[in-house]
Structures are given as C-alpha cells and as structure tokens.
Structure 1
Amino acid sequence: MTTLQYPSARFPGPPAAALEVPDGWEPVSVPGTALAARVADHGQPTFLANVVLRFERRAGDYTLADALEEVVEYAEAKPRGEASEPFTASFGGHEYSGRNVSWVDPVAGTVVQAHLFTLLPAGDLQDLVQITGSVGGANATDDYRTVQQVIQQVTVTPGSPGQAAQDTTP
C-alpha cells in the first residue's frame, strides 16, 4: 500500500503570503480567502476600502487570460458593470495581469475593484493567486491610491512540498 501525503512534492501546500497594511487598517476574516484587510470599521455607514488575497488550485493549462475573462464575466453580471482593458504590473518578484472593474451598488454607489493575478507552480497543477482591492463611496479616489500601495506590498511564494513523513517506530 502507498501512502500519499499533503503537503508533498506531488501535492504541495498552498502558497505563503504577506500583506503590509497602513495604520488605520485591520485584519478581517473572510471565508475563501488567505488574507484580508480593510480600513478600520468605526461604525460609520460607509464603504470600507479593502484588499483580499485568494489562492485557487487550477489545471496546468489554465492561463492568466482565462482569469481576466472571468473578471469580465463578473463585471458584466453587476448593475452597470464595466471592465477595463487588461494591464500588467510587477511587484513582489512576480508579474501580474489585471483588470479594473466597476459597477453601481444601490447602497455604496460606484464600487471600483482592481483584480490582479499570477500563477505559481503547484506540482503538476498551478496556484492562481488573486489580489483584489476594492473602494467605493465618497472616499473612493483617495482610498484607491492607498489600495494600490497595499497591493504593491503583497509578497507570495509557491507552496511548500512539506516534510517527508518520519518513521517513529523505536
């Protein structure tokens, strides 16, 4: 019988990531994310600028063009949704492809998101890294500059193959 192990060379663990945030931001637990932070919530009824980092294991033939097309579909499903032309950015040792999207939310007003993607090796698959920065409401213009700065401080490294199982029999 063969023992399969996670993490291992065949099934590497998830990427590691770090996110630096400015004073006045706080961590947020969001299902389906690796890291998330936002402007501290002081109870004001306003949209809180935020940055979210997700990892998703994808097939080896998945491309950044596929991710960018999914963002277009996401935007088109929103009220008055629009997607920008693709762009590229380089930071944290990786090249990212991205698109900005916007839509009109009935409560927050215009919401703008920057979606950036890169692919990391993960055995015979790959990990899609998605960084999303969101702004909206009256502070959107100022918050967008801050969100861009936060995004550019993100660092990610491919998942670890883990440690080999140790024989613990005496």
Structure 2
Amino acid sequence: MTSQQVFPSEAFPAYPIISVNAPAGWTQQVVPDAVGALLAPAAEGRYTANVVISVSRRLPGYQLQDIAASVDSFLDALPDAVLLGTEPVVINGRDWHVREARYSHPQAGSLAQFTAVTVVHQHAAADIVQLTGSCQPSEDEDLKAIYSLVASADVTPAPLPAQ
C-alpha cells in the first residue's frame, strides 16, 4: 500500500524564511539553482554588483564549521585568490561564517566575492543558507551595499504546516 507524502511537512520541512533589506535601486531577479538574486542598478561598461541567495539541504547534524571549510576551500581555489580575514559573526541572533575573497575573473577582471553562510537546524534536515555578493573591489559603494544587505539578513525556520 502506498502512502502520500507532502512537502512541506515535518518529514520534509520547507526551506527557511529569509528576509534581507535590499539597497535602494536594487532589483530582484530569479536565477537558476537559487532562491533569487538582487542586482545593483546596471551601468554600461561596469560589472553589475549582485547578491545571490541560495539554500541547500543537508542531513541533520551538519554544522556551520562543515560549510565554512567548504566555502573557504572554494574561495581559495578561485584564480589569483586572496582571502581576507574572517571570524564568526552573529547577525540577527544567528551564527554565520563570513568570508571575502578578491580574485581575477576571466571576463569581468578583478572581483570581490563576499560569502556568508549559516545553518538552520530542523528536525529532519539542516539547511544551508548562503548569500554570495560580487562586485568590482574598486566600487566602494557596491561593497558597502553588499555588506549592508548581508548584515540585514534574518533567517528563521519555516513554520510547520497545519495538520
């Protein structure tokens, strides 16, 4: 006999609720394999600063230090990568791993990538929430906008659906 399984449910929890404050003029965009993205106003001849928000699911017990090591390894492997210092950060009461790297992109030239990750523990899963901001490092206003957006992040487990 088969049984109907429903998403979301206690066995298959919904993704966390993610709230951020986008800088003035930034727009939303749907992108593949992500919850979505926020883009700075485009300027001709200039890389468009952006923040991509993604969620990935892991088994219960997955910890922040696990994803932190993965993020650092990925950033370190970027072309001509220079990793800037990091330390644990608390944003809106939640522990995050935040890391910035400067690297050379083959088409865009010198870029800064700012990655912030946190783990949302649920009964049946651990969800990784990742905010990845990219911009040209010479654009101070773009960097400040990305820092501000990440600092506004509020992430909470989704409520269980009514039974």
Class of the TM-score when normalised by the shorter of the 2 chains = 0.7 to 0.9
Instruction: Quote the offset at 1:126 in angstroms.
Output: 0.7
Question: C-alpha distance in 1, partners of 2:25/2:156?
Answer: 27
In the alignment, what sits opposite 2:81? 81
Is the 1:109–1:137 Cα contact (8 Å) retained in structure 2?
Answer: no
Structure 1 or 2, whichever has the larger Rg, is 1
The answer on 1:151 being equivalent to 2:147 is no
Aligned length: 162
Gapped regions of structure 1 (runs ≥ 5): 165-170
Instruction: Quote the offset at 1:137 in angstroms.
Output: 5.5
CA root-mean-square deviation? 1.9
User: What TM-score, normalized to structure 1?
Assistant: 0.84
The verdict on how the C-alpha distance between 1:72 and 1:97 changes in structure 2, with shifts beyond 3 A counting, is closer
Gapped regions of structure 2 (runs ≥ 5): none
Instruction: Quote the offset at 1:114 in angstroms.
Output: 1.5
Question: C-alpha distance in 2, partners of 1:111/1:26?
Answer: 21
4+ runs deviating over 6 angstroms: none
The answer on 1:9 being equivalent to 2:10 is yes
Instruction: Quote the offset at 1:54 in angstroms.
Output: 1.0
User: What TM-score, normalized to structure 2?
Assistant: 0.88
The answer on 1:71 being equivalent to 2:71 is yes
In the alignment, what sits opposite 1:97? 97
Is the 1:11–1:161 Cα contact (8 Å) retained in structure 2?
Answer: no
The verdict on how the C-alpha distance between 1:153 and 1:102 changes in structure 2, with shifts beyond 3 A counting, is same
Stretch moving more, 145-154 or 107-116 = 107-116
The verdict on how the C-alpha distance between 1:138 and 1:100 changes in structure 2, with shifts beyond 3 A counting, is closer
1:106-131 CA-to-partner distances (Å, cap 9, x unmatched) read: 33322111211111123222111111
